Amino acid sequence: MRVALFVTCINDALHPRTGQAVVTLLERLGVEVDFPVEQSCCGQPQFNTGYRHATEPLVRRFDRAFRDYEYVVTPSGSCAAMVRDNYPRIGAKAAAEGRGRGLVDAAAVAVPKMYELTEFLVDVLKVEDVGACYPHTVTYHPTCHGLRMLGLGDRPRRLLEHVEGLELRELPGAEECCGFGGTFAVKNPAVSAAMGADKVRHILGTGAEAVCTVDNSCLLHIGGTLTRQGATVRPVHIAEILASTEGSPW
Amino acid sequence: MSGTYLGMPAFPRAAAASTRDTQLRANLTHATRTIRDKRAKAVAELDDWAQLRAAGAAVKDRTLRHLDHYLEQLEAAVIAAGGQVHWAVDADEANRIVTRLVRETGETEVVKVKSMATQEIGLNEALAEAGIRAYETDLAELIVQLGHDLPSHILVPAIHRNRSEIRDIFRREMASWGRPAPDGLTDSPAELAEAARLHLREKFLSAKVGISGANFMVAETGTLVVVESEGNGRMCLTLPETLISVVGIEKVVPAWQDLEVFLQLLPRSSTAERMNPYTSTWTGTTDGDGPQTFHLVLLDNGRTDTLADTVGRQALRCIRCSACLNVCPVYERAGGHAYGSPYPGPIGAILTPQLRGLAGSLEASLPYASSLCGACYEVCPVAIDIPEVLVHLRERVVEGGPVTRGGARTVLRPARGHAAERATMRAAGWAFDHPGVLRAGMRLAARTRRLHPRRLPGPGRAWSRTRDLPAVPAESFRDWWQRTRGTSPKHEGGGK
Ligand code: SF4
């Protein structure tokens, strides 16, 4: 099986190790991974801030980059949700504005092939035990987009529960937003920081060595709050845990 | 805080002040978490909740599509039952109508059932200007009124107050409004409730005019419905000689049978109860029983403008259950007053800018008062996709576009103050559409990474006051891929 990796702009620029982990993990599971270099940002920051028109070229670019693939896998719940939920909206609005059905068609092609990493593992590859080993205590924060827009359910947890040596610690108030919300963190800094502080307090309360999510953008916010407080809890993307093995710890 | 919502600072500023009010945050966190957990349990009891929710949304959508028809049917039914119907296009007209109706009775005091619509139009203040005193009879609303305060929650307007604050307000204020607080009043819930009961009883027994809102209006029979927990509303609805109900036009449902859906959805979502303790319905007037004069004031005040927006109109489905407030992490930290209207929380963030328009700075800031976490949509019993409407309204703020104001189509200009952001977004959009440029930028960032500060000056300062910026890695994923895997010729060429 051959899949295209949609690494996302944040991972590309700031968290390359997450993308490398996805490649390592998928190849270990016998999947051939391509990285179409024409890919770029999904348009989420622009769309969520109200710049819908600025996202249209990115929808077309996504279509061009991934047109030839049956599966597109991304290590980001919010970017997967952006494609799945909002590309059809962008297409419909463009059509309603009398600008043709090009974006409707592009969205219709993109939506069914878009998989968030844990969805792809559990639903397509049908594995829960990916042969990982990560001998640490970990707490899992289900990100809002993964939880509510994608409906990931307990897929990430099931994958983590099969990781050798990993001890999963329950996170109180797990389903509450960490307060990042893209430009929300900039436009409402006080509320965002208050939410982040509460999330971090809960994470520290678990005593876990690491906090893991399916999205590096939330981890960026959580991690930034953690280091500012001098806490040593590591923010880790789930892909990096799943890529880790006894022979080559990540 | 007192008086009116007008002149509220824009949301981020008001919210920042609230986050520093530790008492307020403690009060809110305690209250919302308790009700949140109870609601989840009450909802989980029904295995057809998803279908009920879909039915509620469908009934409301169908009604909104044919709103003119159902309103005319309602008007005819109310008149046939002995009531009178008045149409108010905006807050001023509604206030004028109600003031005139009260004056015609010769009374200078009225009792009120808690009503969002009358808060929305500022009726109490308008009546006060005309020399008419309005007494709130809902317990929480009474606390707000006595405290010269504003409501901060749809269902529990005094949620921002704790028991000892309430005791202080009762002791200090009750005497100037009627029966004073009993001597030695403590903050035990039973004593506070008893003090309120004694105070209010005098009002009920002397009132000649009652003013209410309504949760629903049934078009086919001309029946109005109020659901409440205390029974005080029922007193206001039955004891006075004249009853004036001010209701938003979106509250109509076609048939009595439709109540079946909403009377299940509403109590579980709002108070986590299986059934409302008091459900009062009234249809026109009945000789020798209840009010002998009944007026229905149908309030538009921006609702038909909202209806004209095909994405935004779903906000008119709202049955004011307040479930979205109770799960909202932003509401929990910002408090209700920051939203600058009687509709706080997620629903306020989409309803207020639609009812009032986006011209004011508060209204333009409300669509951003959300991290788009989606918890509100998940709990909403009529499935209002609040995040979708928020993003839609953000687009109106930054890009402008067609809107309906005062019944006429106009094109909204982009809000001022977003010029720098618009330029950044456009530049980012352009760079993202030119991966070659993007890659060059990433390489530059990687090469200069040791120079990057972890705290920022300028507009980024707010972010980095409480959080560290991430360190830029030495090599982007893109470059790693090319270095280790090469690039297949088919996908070469990063440019356009
Ligand atoms: S928007 Fe939905 S959840 Fe919020 S008050 Fe209205 S009906 Fe309730």
Do A151 and A227 share a domain, yes or no?
Answer: yes
Residues with Cβ < 8 Å from B299, sequence gap 6 or more? Answer: B88, B94, B117, B120, B121, B246, B247, B248, B249
Asked if residue A249 belongs to a domain, the reply is no
Residue B2: predicted pLDDT: 41
Structural domain including B467 reads 434-482
Q: Would you say residue A187 has pLDDT above 70?
A: yes
Do A154 and A216 share a domain, yes or no?
Answer: yes
- Ramachandran angles phi, psi of B90, nearest 5°: -145, -175
- Chain B segment 411-470 residues within 8 A of A by beta carbon are 421-422, 425-426, 428-429, 432-433, 435, 438, 442, 445, 459-460, 462-463, 465-470
B425 or B4, greater pLDDT: B425
Residue type present at position B118 = T
Asked if residue B100 belongs to a domain, the reply is yes
Q: Would you say residue B315 has pLDDT above 70?
A: yes
d(CA A59, ligand 1 centre) in Å: 32
Residue B461: predicted pLDDT: 67
Name the residue facing A224 among B12, B368, B467 (closest C-beta): B467
Asked if residue B24 belongs to a domain, the reply is no
Write down the mean pLDDT value for chain B. Answer: 91
Is A37 in contact with B388 (Cβ distance < 8 A)? no
Residues with Cβ < 8 Å from B391, sequence gap 6 or more? Answer: A47, A48, A50, B367, B372
Percent of chain B with pLDDT over 90: 77
Asked if residue B439 belongs to a domain, the reply is yes
Average pLDDT over residues B125-138: 96
Residue with the two structure tokens 């205590």 = A137
Q: How many domains does chain A have?
A: 2
Which atom of ligand 1 has the smallest separation from the CA of B315? 1
Q: Which residues from chain A sit within 8 angstroms of residue B361, using beta carbons?
A: none
Asked if residue B317 belongs to a domain, the reply is no
Do A115 and A142 share a domain, yes or no?
Answer: no
Tens digit of each residue's pLDDT (9 = 90 or more) over B246-288: 999 999 999 999 999 999 999 999 999 999 999 999 999 999 9
Q: Whose CA is nearest to atom 7 of ligand 1?
A: B318
Asked if residue B204 belongs to a domain, the reply is yes
Per-residue confidence band for A214, with pLDDT thresholds at 50, 70 and 90:
very high
Do A180 and A79 share a domain, yes or no?
Answer: no
Q: Angle at which helices A87-96 and A102-113 pack, to 10 degrees? A: 170
Average pLDDT over residues A134-141: 98
Average pLDDT over residues A150-160: 96
Per-residue confidence band for B358, with pLDDT thresholds at 50, 70 and 90:
very high
Asked if residue B67 belongs to a domain, the reply is yes
Q: Are B32 and B324 in contact (CB under 8 A)?
A: no
Asked if residue B163 belongs to a domain, the reply is yes
Q: Would you say residue B234 has pLDDT above 70?
A: yes
Q: Whose CA is nearest to atom 8 of ligand 1?
A: B321
Asked if residue A15 belongs to a domain, the reply is yes
Do A97 and A158 share a domain, yes or no?
Answer: no
Average pLDDT over residues B163-178: 94
Question: What letter would DSSP give residue A164?
Answer: B
Name the residue facing B399 among A35, A38, A50 (closest C-beta): A50
Cα B8 from Cα B22, distance rounded (Å): 21
Cα B22 from Cα B420, distance rounded (Å): 34
Q: Would you say residue A213 has pLDDT above 60?
A: yes
Do A21 and A119 share a domain, yes or no?
Answer: yes
- Chain B segment 373-402 residues within 8 A of A by beta carbon are 373-375, 377-378, 388, 391, 393-399
Name the residue facing A179 among B371, B399, B432 (closest C-beta): B371
Do A144 and A114 share a domain, yes or no?
Answer: no
CATH number, domain of A163, equals 3.40.50
Taking alpha carbons only, the member of B392, B404, B389 closest to residue B348 is: B389
Asked if residue A146 belongs to a domain, the reply is yes
Residue ranges of alpha helices (H) inside B222-360 are 232-238, 259-270, 303-307, 323-327, 329-334, 345-356
Asked if residue A250 belongs to a domain, the reply is no
Q: CB-based contact (8 Å) between A170 and chain B?
A: no
Residue B379: predicted pLDDT: 97
Q: How many domains does chain B have?
A: 2
Average pLDDT over residues B123-139: 96
Which atom of ligand 1 has the smallest separation from the CA of B379? 3
CATH number, domain of B285, equals 3.40.50.10420
Residue B423: predicted pLDDT: 73
Tens digit of each residue's pLDDT (9 = 90 or more) over B372-421: 999 999 999 999 999 999 999 999 999 898 899 888 989 988 877 777 77
Q: Would you say residue B495 has pLDDT above 50?
A: no
DSSP A11-54: HHHH-HHHHHHHHHHHHHTT-EEE--TT----SHHHHHHT-HHH
Structural domain including A28 reads 2-124
Cα B186 from Cα B164, distance rounded (Å): 8
Which atom of ligand 1 has the smallest separation from the CA of B345? 4
Half-sphere exposure of B454 (CA within 13 A, CB side): 11
Show the tokens assigned to B162.
């704790």
Do A191 and A114 share a domain, yes or no?
Answer: no
Do A81 and A152 share a domain, yes or no?
Answer: no
Residue B451: predicted pLDDT: 63
Asked if residue A248 belongs to a domain, the reply is no
Asked if residue A11 belongs to a domain, the reply is yes
Last residue of a domain, one of A124, A155, A177: A124
> How many residues are present in chain A?
250
Is A177 in contact with B487 (Cβ distance < 8 A)? no
Asked if residue A162 belongs to a domain, the reply is yes
Q: What is the CA angle B483-B488-B490, rounded to 5?
A: 145
Per-residue confidence band for B422, with pLDDT thresholds at 50, 70 and 90:
confident
Last residue of a domain, one of B248, B268, B301: B301
Do A14 and A82 share a domain, yes or no?
Answer: yes
Cα A187 from Cα A48, distance rounded (Å): 12
Question: Ligand 1 site: residues with CB under 6 angstroms?
Answer: B 154, 269, 318-324, 347, 379-382, 384
Last residue of a domain, one of B301, B324, B355: B301
Last residue of a domain, one of B261, B282, B301: B301
A3 or B469, greater pLDDT: A3
Q: Are A15 and B474 in contact (CB under 8 A)?
A: no
Asked if residue B494 belongs to a domain, the reply is no
Cα B142 from Cα B438, distance rounded (Å): 59
Q: CB-based contact (8 Å) between A193 and chain B?
A: yes
